[in-house]
Structure 1
Amino acid sequence: MSLVYARLDGVTRQLPLLAVDAPGLYFRAFFGVPEAAARTDAGEPVNAVRGFLDMLAALITRRRPGALICALDYDWRPAWRVELLPTYKAHRLAPDGGEIVPESLSAQIPVLLEVLAALGVPAIGTAGYEADDVLGTIATRQAGPVEVVSGDRDLFQLVDDDHPVRLLYIGRGVAKLDDCDDAAVRARFGVPAAAYADFAALRGDPSDGLPGVPGVGAKTAARLLVRYGDLASLVATLDDPQAGFAAGLRARLTAAHDYLSVAPRVVRVARDVELAAPPVRLPAAPADPQELMKLAARWNLAGSCRRMVDAMARHPEPAAADRDKGVPDDGGSGVEAVEST
């Protein structure tokens, strides 16, 4: 993928690709914006759509990316992960086998996707994988800085200072973004980002149905990984009488051997999924202004759509030096598509 440079504060800088965990954001928007405060004239709730668009506009304004893409869950609970660990997200399983999602949120997701398409913001997923896997693949293949936006702790594993990839970890809305590099991950969890999947497997994560090893909390998990390097090395050492494990800890880890043999594969995001190749340049204007106007009027989204359009129009223009770097000057950000190979 071509890189994008812009003149910011008198310095030519490489602009990042902003890769957004769309389900994470629209769930937060739904629960963060009261339904009563965001409805159509007919009374239909649009709080998730309005909140999502406002958060996205704020992100564009604050982060000034050269490119933007939203990742979707085409499979929120992939069969291959469930086969490895049946408890994976089992607590979020609806009686019909789907995910437990409020009905008023489900009705808004198609509306959001229509608005994003009219704006020209790509939203992609792939069969058999979660949005996390889409983000992992994009972050791995992008030839330049990536900022992943999510409130999902599993995505700390994508942080890579060399690539570079940062996680913009969201709390409530986007009012507070933790801009996390590897040092921030180490400070938060006691392990480098590359060890986060093993850390989560050891400690457990109730939000994903990961039981962890009983009696092994965050501090113990971090201490073990710092000492042994990774979970595979730790497990391989359990039978070594010279390893210095306390008897109780050795017993707990040994009893959890079957779980530990599969849990890291469940937690690790895929980085090689097949993706479509939509344009990911951040457009300076909506792709379909007339359709956007119709959607804004139909769903009472005029204010949020206007904030998105304004944010897109204000994003930095590519620096003149881009033409010398092989970046096309086409009136957009000059970013090409995410390659699928």
Structure 2
Amino acid sequence: MNRPLVALDTPTLYYRSYHALPDSITNSAGMPVNAVRGVLDTVAALVTAVGTPRVVAAMDADWRPAFRTAVAPEYKAQRVKDEQAGTEMPEDLAVQLPLLNELLAAAGIPIAEVPGTEADDVIASITAQTSDSVIVVSSDRDLLALLRPDRDVAIMRPRKGGEWETLRLPELQELYGVAEGSQYRQLAALRGDPADGLAGVPGIGEKTAAKLLGGYGTLEDLFAAAGAGAEGHGLSEKRRTALLHARDAVERNHRVMTCLEDLEVADFIAAAGSQADTAQVAALAAEHSVERSAQHLLSALEAVR
């Protein structure tokens, strides 16, 4: 049996490292390498913790894909910093990504990127297309929808102090009051996601959304109940009115939050766990002053082979 496959939501990791480590960490040319160093150290620690060299680094080929903004033009619109380039990424982070990609690929970690899609879509396709256990590393709550009874998936979320929280299917009920991932996505559609510019139903937060879905089962059934004047499971007149008024927005949220599962990811899965090109890693690391972190990653990968 194959050991678990680790699917990295790499943007989560490089943004976290970029903000956690000082920009005074640079290479000899003065280019910041704080995010690179942080990601290499984080992946090394993860590999050691889970005991597998089978790692895939999912990337955003497009952080605001056209198929999502066509449904909800407001999707992440408030995060655009450069209207002409259409990006949210600080320049001193953007310049680090080519190096990060080169180092990860040279270490035997395939860069999983599909044109026109986000890292979430790549990860969802990987979990849908492998029978192996998958450990998804991400702080993105949308990926909790991947926790399903028919798949062996865990979500590892970063916490303060270098700690990690691992969530599996049973924890969804305890933490969010829903039984499985598809119901969590419906909860999220009701709640909305301000970070992504998606408005939910006024007056309905996570707990109320979970109670309503627990009572009525699905969004479709919930809206039918609201339209029929039902009163159980916390469905007051005020909430019925709010739900029906926001129905179109909730349905758009649900479509936008649904990740693609049919992308061509077989090659990424097959390449996970490849042998590192240690000479290439060493050369890149020396050129960019990240030798310790690069060696940390190589040693961690070799130790679990």
Class of the TM-score when normalised by the shorter of the 2 chains:
over 0.9
Shift of 1:248: 0.8
Shift of 1:97: 4.6
1:269 is aligned to 2:259:
yes
Shift of 1:110: 0.3
Q: Distance in 1 between matches of 2:248 and 2:204?
A: 16
Q: Distance in 2 between matches of 1:81 and 1:208?
A: 11
TM-score, with structure 1 as normaliser: 0.84
Q: Distance in 2 between matches of 1:198 and 1:20?
A: 24
What is aligned with 1:298?
Answer: 287
Contact 2:229–2:240 (Cα < 8 Å) also in 1? no
Q: What does 1:250-269 correspond to in 2, within 5 Å?
A: 250-269=240-259
Q: Distance in 2 between matches of 1:87 and 1:311?
A: 42
1:280 is aligned to 2:280:
no
Shift of 1:66: 5.0
Q: Distance in 2 between matches of 1:26 and 1:195?
A: 29
1:19 is aligned to 2:10:
no
Q: What does 1:1-341 correspond to in 2, within 5 Å?
A: 3-4=1-2, 15-36=3-24, 38-93=25-80, 94-172=82-160, 175-192=162-179, 193-244=181-232, 245-275=235-265, 277-278=267-268, 279-283=270-274, 285-286=275-276, 288-316=277-305
Q: Distance in 1 between matches of 2:27 and 2:230?
A: 68
Q: Deviations over 1:273-325 (max 9, x none)?
A: 23361443324x52x22222210111001101110110011004xxxxxxxxx
Contact 1:160–1:166 (Cα < 8 Å) also in 2? no
Q: Deviations over 1:18-51 (max 9, x none)?
A: 1100111111111111111x21123221000000
Structure with higher Rg: it is 1
After alignment, is 240-249 or 78-87 more displaced?
240-249
Contact 2:134–2:152 (Cα < 8 Å) also in 1? yes
User: Counting helix residues as a fraction of each chain, which structure ranks higher?
Assistant: 2
Shift of 1:242: 4.2
Contact 1:17–1:146 (Cα < 8 Å) also in 2? yes
- Structure 2 gaps of 5+ residues are none
- Structure 1 gaps of 5+ residues are 5-14, 317-341
Contact 1:161–1:181 (Cα < 8 Å) also in 2? no
Shift of 1:125: 1.1
The number of equivalent residue pairs is 300
Q: Distance in 2 between matches of 1:273 and 1:54?
A: 29
Contact 1:191–1:222 (Cα < 8 Å) also in 2? yes
Provide the aligned C-alpha RMSD in A: 1.6
Shift of 1:172: 3.9
Q: Deviations over 1:176-217 (max 9, x none)?
A: 211101121221111122311111110111111111011111
Q: Distance in 2 between matches of 1:119 and 1:242?
A: 58
Q: Assess, with a 3 A threshold, how the Cα gap between structure 1 residues 275 and 144 changes in structure 2: closer, same or farther.
A: closer
What percentage of aligned pairs have identical amino acids?
Answer: 38
